[in-house]
Structure 1
Amino acid sequence: MKPIDLTLTISESIPSFPGSPKPIFIDWSNIRDDGYNLELLFLSSHTGTHLDAPFHFIKNGIKIHQIPINRLVGNAFLIKIPKSKNSSITKQDIISFEKKNRKIPNGSSVFFFTGWQKNLKKPNYFTENPGLDTLASKYLSSKKLNLVGIDSPSIDLGKAKSFAVHHLLSQNNILIVENLANLNKISSNEFNFTILPLKLKDATGSPVRAIATVLHSKNS
C-alpha cells in the first residue's frame, strides 16, 4: 500500500491556536533578481500537524532535539472513535477497543481518529474539540506509552483550560502529536508511522511530516 500523508499543509491561511501568531511567508529572493527563489518563514513551532516535546509543559522534560529518532518511527494502534464537539475519549473507549482487538502493550504508540479534522475551518475548531479525559490519560500513562496522536488541535478537550492531559502525558515522557489528517484513510487498526519534526535545539515543539503505512489488511 502507498504511504498515507497524515500532514496538514502549512500556509498563511491555516487556522492557528487562539493567541498564537498566524504563519507569514516572506518572499526574500527571486529567480529574476537573484537567480533563485527563497522565502522566509515566521510561525509557531506548534503550527499545523506538530509534535509536542515533554518540555512544552514540564520544566525538565526532554526537548525536540533530544528525542531519540527510534521514538519517531514504529508500529502504532489506531483507535477510530468518532466524537462530536466537547466529547471526551474515555478510559472505557480504550478498554472497549482492547476487548475487540488486543490489549495495547506497554511502550506502544496510539493514535485516535475522532473525525474532528473536518471542522478545521470552523470557528469552534480550537474551542470545542474532543480530547482525552483524565482517566483515559492516566490509563495510557500507566502503559508507559511512547507517543499519543490525535486528529484534533489538542489532546485536551477544547474547553479544558488547565491542560491537565498535556501535563500528565508529558510528566510520563509521552510524546504528543496533534492536528493529524487523513487518519480515516488507514484501513487497519495497526499501522507503521513516521513522525519527523525539525531538529530544533531547545524547542518545545515542531511541525512534522507524518506518514502512515498499513501493516496488514485487518480492518478496524
Structure 2
Amino acid sequence: MPPYDLSQPLDPGVPVYPGDPEVSLRPHATHDADGYRVTALELGSHSGTHVDAPAHTEPDGATLDSVPVETFTMDALKLDCTEYGDGQPIPPAVLPSDPDADALVVHTGWDAHWPDERYLDHPYLAPETARRIAELDCHVGIDALNVDPTGSVDSDVSTHGIPAHHALLGAGKLIVENLTNLGAMPTRFTLDVAPLPLPDADAAPARVLGRVE
C-alpha cells in the first residue's frame, strides 16, 4: 500500500507559534531571467510539520542531529482524541496501559482548521498526560500546532507554560507537531519522520509519512 503523506505544506502564511519567524518563499532565479529556477526560503526551525528535539526546551537536551537515524522510523499507535475541542486539555484517560509502540500519535482532527486563526486554539496534552507518556517511554505526534496550549489571544508562555514539552523532551523523547491526514491512518501504523539535517538543531521541518504494511 502506498504511504500516506502526513505533512502540512510550507506555504507562505502558514500558522506559526506567535512570535516565531513567518515562512517566506521568493524567487531567487527564474527561467526567464536566468535559465533555471531557484527559490529563496526563510523560515523557523519549528515551521510547518516539524520535529522538536530535547534541546528545544532543555538546556542540556540532545540536538536533533545527534538522534540516531533509526529513531525516526517508529511503530505508532493512534489515539482518537477528536472529542476534545477548542483549548481543551486531553486527559491521561486516553492512554493505554501498555501501548507497545515507539510513538503515540494524537489524532485531534484539528488539522481541519489549518491555516485559519482557530488552528491556534487547539486541544493539547494535559501536563499529567505528557508525564504519563514519558513514563511509557513513547515519542509523541499530534495534528495540532503544539502539545501545550497556544491560543490566538493569550500566547504568553509565562501564563500557561510548556509543561508537556518539558515532560516529554526532558525525558529525551521527540515531539512531532502539525501532522495532518491522521484520519486516513489505522490504529497501528509505521511513522516515518525525515527532518532536515540542520546542525545543532532544536527542531527541524520534516516530511512525515504513514505506512501501513
TM norm structure 1: 0.88
Kept after mapping to 1: 8 A contact 2:6/2:182: yes
Residue of structure 1 aligned with 2:123, choices 112, 121, 130:
130
In 1, Cα distance between equivalents of 2:163 and 2:107: 21
CA drift of 1:185 comes to 0.7
* CA deviations over 1:137-169 (Å, ceiling 9, x no partner): 111111122x20000100112357311110111
Amino acid at match of 2:43: L
In 2, Cα distance between equivalents of 1:120 and 1:85: 14
Counterpart of 1:62 in structure 2 is 62
Identical aligned residues as a percent? 28
CA drift of 1:11 comes to 1.0
In 1, Cα distance between equivalents of 2:115 and 2:10: 13
In 1, Cα distance between equivalents of 2:31 and 2:94: 54
Q: Gapped runs of 5+ residues in structure 1? A: 216-220
The DSSP-based 3-state class of the residue aligned with 2:134 is: helix
Kept after mapping to 2: 8 A contact 1:133/1:157: no
In 2, Cα distance between equivalents of 1:13 and 1:135: 33
CA drift of 1:214 comes to 1.7
Counterpart of 2:137 in structure 1 is 144
Residue of structure 2 aligned with 1:156, choices 124, 148, 153:
148
The DSSP-based 3-state class of the residue aligned with 1:140 is: helix
In 2, Cα distance between equivalents of 1:170 and 1:13: 28
Counterpart of 1:91 in structure 2 is 92
Kept after mapping to 1: 8 A contact 2:53/2:175: yes
TM norm structure 2: 0.91
Please, what is the CA RMSD of the aligned residues? 1.5
Counterpart of 1:121 in structure 2 is 115
Q: Gapped runs of 5+ residues in structure 2? A: 152-158
Which stretches of structure 1, 4 residues or longer, exceed 3 Å deviation after superposition?
none
In 1, Cα distance between equivalents of 2:115 and 2:45: 20
CA drift of 1:81 comes to 1.7
